[in-house]
Structure 1
């Protein structure tokens, strides 16, 4: 079995961060989202991986290399533009050959990995194995409808009138039969070759489709809110490890990871928090649910429920929450303008103004 990982998307919902960085490489708990998927593939016993890349190919290739750091053998498959998940399978045809394969969206995270889905596929030998989960907004996903026997009878991409609330998680397992379906695809209303249309073709041609409804944590990290939620979830599973230098006047509570070479003085750290190697934290409060990447500086500031990327400099900003700060970004106070108030007050009013 092989794996096909999609990492060619431009991440328009994550701009401006993705103007200069691949969305799949944005770190969550100080590890790129893409790496969680590659580790899940490795843990499922798969070694050959094709990665679909687009305009951010050089950055992804620098980060992943030949795959040996994950115990994988990686082949890069260029895609000239995002043209749908079906198109990704089409251009990977030579790489995939006649092997079964897992298709994994590179910006997805699935709690517990994909071992169960892969093992069930190997054991039961369907033509496709889907992972489904209930969602609040079915309009935003590929949606599956189940028949009375519990089998998938219909799939539709981002339906206007959803027939169910079961979304397709961004992990699929296919037999080579799916290539027959891909060859028959026509562009959808989005001008893309949809993998949901390929799955529907398999259903219409009496191919066997199996599915598993997952109830654990799954996240398609396409927005800042998704990233912060995934960050929070992963930080909750941290085991404390302090490798850096922590001064006696620093208070630490909860689970905290402090990387080698990090220096924390006169601060309060409320876990779960991770501070990357070489970062400096001075007279500040971090956490809970905050990730500070490597080589950052935080002085006289409070940061909660946020992700700070490598090399950022934050000094005297007061309180930051529910934020993502980009690589090498600098946040410092500007000149303070005199306060001016304008009032129209009714009779007998009382106003208290903080100074």
Structure 2
């Protein structure tokens, strides 16, 4: 079993946060988001990871190296020109072993059960298994239509509200796949190629078995600043089970090692105080506040994400 993490995007929707930092390296409580994906792979027994990189690739390579410090093996496929989703995975083909590939989009926060996803793929004998999630408003997503046996029968791009109501479909692509590597044989090399618009529809046209795995797991696309902040709040609130590496001093209030919080300071849940912070007696930390490390605060803070070294005297 191998994992492929598609981590080459520029993160334009997250600007200005991504002007100097690749999107997958943006921190979730002072640790790069990519750490979460690597840890999820290792927990599922997947230790051979292929990482597609492009924008500011050196930052990712320098941080993770060969993966040994994280208990995995990491190799990189460097995307010099944008190749879209399937084209980016095709680029790693020289490293394929023939084992199924678990493919991740590096901007999705989820606690999807990878072992259950893999088991469903094997049991169905599918060439591709797509993790799907249900959404209340499907108009912002491409819909995936299933048969009664959970086989994918059609992809429907971003319907209007009327079309979505008529179709009665609320399942959307959740950005995690299990794929048999042979399906990439038909993908041209060094050519932009899309999973959603080309490869998956082509498999359906060939009557290949594409399985939809519907999950009620937590799922969030963190591709814009509002969603990036929401990810932190959802973790602090327990909606996404990924506790920060910090002490929970009261329900929903997390304080990292080395932080000093004055007893007179008012902290309201959910909030996070980063490592080596100083929170003074006049500070009031509002719900939904994430305070980066080595910050100094001694007056009220509004909800939001504050970068390391914030000074609010």
- Normalised by the shorter chain, which TM-score bucket? 0.7 to 0.9
The equivalent of 2:268 in structure 1 is 270
The equivalent of 2:277 in structure 1 is 279
Question: 2:132·2:213 contact (CA, 8 Å) conserved in 1?
Answer: yes
Cα deviation 1:105-146 (Å, max 9, x = unaligned): 111111244221123223443211111112344343333112
* TM-score (norm: length of structure 2): 0.86
* TM-score (norm: length of structure 1): 0.77
Structure (1 or 2) with the greater helix fraction: 2
Question: 1:260·1:277 contact (CA, 8 Å) conserved in 2?
Answer: yes
Larger radius of gyration: 1
Within the alignment, does 1:58 sit opposite 2:58 as a pair? yes
The equivalent of 2:209 in structure 1 is 208
The equivalent of 2:255 in structure 1 is 258
1:223-302 paired onto structure 2 within 5 Å: 223-237=224-238, 238=243, 242=247, 253-265=250-262, 266-282=264-280, 283-302=282-301
The equivalent of 1:127 in structure 2 is 127
Shift of the alpha carbon at 1:38? 1.5
The equivalent of 1:91 in structure 2 is 91
Higher relative contact order (CA 8 A, sep 6+): 2
Shift of the alpha carbon at 1:90? 1.6
Q: Give the SS at the match of 2:18.
A: helix
Q: Give the SS at the match of 1:17.
A: coil
| Structure 1: gaps spanning 5 or more residues | 244-251, 316-355
Shift of the alpha carbon at 1:300? 1.4
Q: Give the SS at the match of 2:229.
A: helix
Q: Give the SS at the match of 1:19.
A: coil
Q: CA 1:203 to 1:254, structure 2 compared with 1: closer, same or farther past 3 Å?
A: same
Q: Give the SS at the match of 2:223.
A: coil
| Structure 2: gaps spanning 5 or more residues | none
Cα RMSD after superposing both structures = 2.6
Q: Give the SS at the match of 2:74.
A: strand
Cα deviation 1:47-73 (Å, max 9, x = unaligned): 111111112111112332322333111
